């Protein structure tokens, strides 16, 4: 394993194009600790508390708090590894499952042990072929090695945008459509099979596997006091070396861009947090620390670790209008804020981008964004509203120009916000 305070951690030892074998995995990080007594489990949970590990799926919720909420519920429990990765601009979860599947499986085994679960499920989206192959191959290795966790179920799940939301994933595992449900009950109360259910992102579980081996103090050697450890970032857009980067939480965005070889074109803005994220101007963005607390203070979100650099030649209004239309179509169609609000927002922003909107239309869009926030069964409308609201702010001059003079470029010039290809490389910051 790498020395304290150095990177990479999760991405260490990855071979391009293939999964790390069980023997290679254990040769690098050692065998998986297996707490077998109540005291050993308590010690590991205390270590997890001291580590300060936060979820890497988007919300950044303290992992130990979530685990204890499930562990204290009566009845049989279940743990679910969420690798559905419905965010189109993210590739980090698929990379981990394709290249480092044993790290993810180790974390899943430990999570089940800590909460006293007798069942565990690893969910991977069926469209991520390499991730599916990676976890299935790793599971077979464990069967061959006669490891006790070889009974973990691997489920291929929908890749729809909202399918990875906790209640939507539970609903799908229970045989229903991959759509969010109203709460309560929350998954930790009654989830898969009505059992108390712990859902954790696969990157989160990979960190757990390393904390169990090397401890909380080691984990805190990188990151910030409030958001310790490393984090995976999917970086795309106008940078020399797009890919999946492992950085210490709190690393400034400018340092990440430098580590990626710098810009290929001057960036007019950066989208941080993905399709439910926030646009930032370069003068603000480059100094932003990439951690949950700093991003909230700046009015944004780190989300599942996504940064997209938009070149000066692109149209931020048209790009955002395209994503807003995608988000409107991606809703589960169950609540008024999504069915009516997101459609209206997307249509109006498309009209602005096409130069077909009446003067002042942006004011209606801003109002509708405020109206839909916090009113859905899930946070889908909140993310869409955050994206569009930041567009109206960061690209205010372009919005006005569109309303006065029409479109600035043909539709075929779009797609700067499309995600990386499935062969996105893994990298590490200096």
Per-residue pLDDT 10s for the chain (430 aa) are: 545 568 999 999 887 779 999 999 999 999 999 998 999 999 999 999 999 999 998 888 999 999 999 999 998 999 999 999 989 999 999 999 999 999 999 999 999 999 999 999 999 998 899 999 999 999 999 998 888 876 799 999 998 888 888 989 999 999 998 888 877 888 899 889 999 999 999 999 999 999 999 999 999 999 999 999 999 999 999 999 999 999 999 999 999 999 999 999 899 999 999 999 999 999 999 999 999 999 999 999 999 999 999 998 899 999 999 999 999 998 877 787 788 899 999 999 999 999 999 889 999 999 999 999 988 778 899 999 999 999 999 999 999 998 887 777 554 445 566 554 434 455 544 3
pLDDT of amino acid 334: 78
**Residue 92: which of 206, 263, 215 has the closest Cα?**
206
What's the first-to-final CA gap in the chain, in angstroms? 17
pLDDT of amino acid 420: 41
pLDDT of amino acid 413: 46
What region does 405 belong to: left with phi over 0, alpha with psi -120 to 50, or beta?
alpha
CA distances, 125 to each of 132, 157, 236 (Å)? 8, 5, 21
CA distance 91 to 131: 10
φ, ψ for residue 20 (rounded to 5)? -70, 130
CA distance 313 to 413: 9
CA distance 299 to 43: 37
Locate the domains of the chain by residue range. 22-219, 230-314+420-428, 316-413
Query: Which residues are CB-contacts of 321 (< 8 A; sequence separation ≥ 6)?
Result: 346, 349, 350, 352, 353
CA distance 155 to 143: 17
Is the C-alpha dihedral spanning 215, 60, 326, 308 positive or negative? negative
DSSP letter at 8? -
pLDDT of amino acid 3: 56
3-state secondary structure (DSSP) of residue 271: strand
Cis peptide before 247 (omega within 30 of 0): no
- Architecture (CATH level 2) of domain 22-219: 3-Layer(aba) Sandwich (3.40)
CA distances, 275 to each of 90, 139, 331, 414 (Å)? 10, 33, 13, 15
CA distance 302 to 43: 31
pLDDT of amino acid 429: 43
pLDDT of amino acid 422: 37
In the sheet with 306-311, reading across from the earlier edge strand, the strands are 278-280, 267-272, 306-311, 230-237, 243-248, 426-428
Domain 316-413 in CATH 1.20.1440.230? The answer is yes
pLDDT of amino acid 159: 82
pLDDT of amino acid 378: 80
CATH annotation of 230-314+420-428: 3.10.20.600
3-state secondary structure (DSSP) of residue 252: strand
């Amino acid at each position: 394993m790498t020395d304290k305070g150095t990177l990479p951690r999760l991405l260490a030892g990855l071979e391009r194009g293939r999964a790390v074998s069980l023997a290679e995995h254990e040769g690098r990080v050692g065998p998986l600790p297996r707490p077998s007594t109540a005291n050993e489990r308590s010690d590991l949970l205390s270590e997890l508390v001291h580590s300060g590990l936060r979820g890497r799926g988007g919300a950044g919720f303290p992992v130990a708090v979530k685990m204890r909420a499930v562990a204290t519920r009566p009845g049989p429990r279940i743990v679910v590894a969420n690798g559905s990765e419905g965010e189109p601009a993210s590739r980090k979860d698929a990379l981990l499952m394709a290249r480092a599947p044993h790290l993810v499986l180790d974390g899943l085994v430990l999570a089940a042990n800590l909460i006293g679960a007798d069942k565990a499920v690893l969910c991977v989206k069926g469209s991520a072929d390499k991730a599916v192959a990676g976890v299935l191959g790793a599971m077979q290795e464990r069967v061959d090695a006669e490891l006790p966790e070889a009974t973990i179920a691997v489920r291929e799940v929908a890749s729809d945008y909202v399918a990875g939301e906790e209640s939507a994933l539970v609903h799908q595992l229970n045989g229903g459509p991959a759509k969010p449900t109203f709460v309560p009950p929350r998954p930790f109360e009654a989830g898969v099979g009505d059992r108390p259910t712990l859902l954790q992102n696969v990157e989160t579980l990979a960190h757990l596997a390393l904390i169990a081996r090397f401890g909380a103090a080691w984990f805190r050697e990188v990151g910030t006091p409030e958001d310790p450890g490393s984090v995976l970032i999917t970086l795309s857009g106008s940078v020399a070396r797009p890919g999946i980067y492992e950085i210490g939480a709190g690393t400034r965005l400018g340092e990440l861009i430098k580590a990626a070889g710098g810009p290929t074109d001057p960036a007019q803005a950066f989208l941080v947090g993905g399709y439910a994220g926030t646009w930032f101007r370069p003068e603000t963005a480059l100094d932003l620390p990439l951690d949950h607390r700093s991003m909230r203070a700046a009015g944004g979100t780190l989300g599942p670790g996504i940064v997209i650099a938009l070149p000066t030649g692109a149209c931020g209004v048209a790009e955002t209008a395209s994503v807003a239309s995608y988000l409107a179509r991606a809703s589960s169609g169950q609540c008024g804020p999504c069915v009516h609000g997101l459609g209206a927002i997307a249509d109006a922003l498309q009209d602005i981008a096409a130069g077909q909107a009446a003067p002042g239309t942006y004011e209606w869009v801003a109002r509708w964004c405020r109206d839909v926030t916090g009113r859905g069964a899930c946070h889908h409308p909140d993310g869409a509203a955050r994206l569009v609201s930041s567009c109206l702010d960061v690209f205010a001059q372009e919005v006005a120009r569109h309303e006065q003079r029409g479109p600035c470029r043909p539709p075929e010039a779009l797609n700067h916000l499309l995600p990386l290809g499935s062969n996105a490389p893994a990298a590490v910051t200096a």
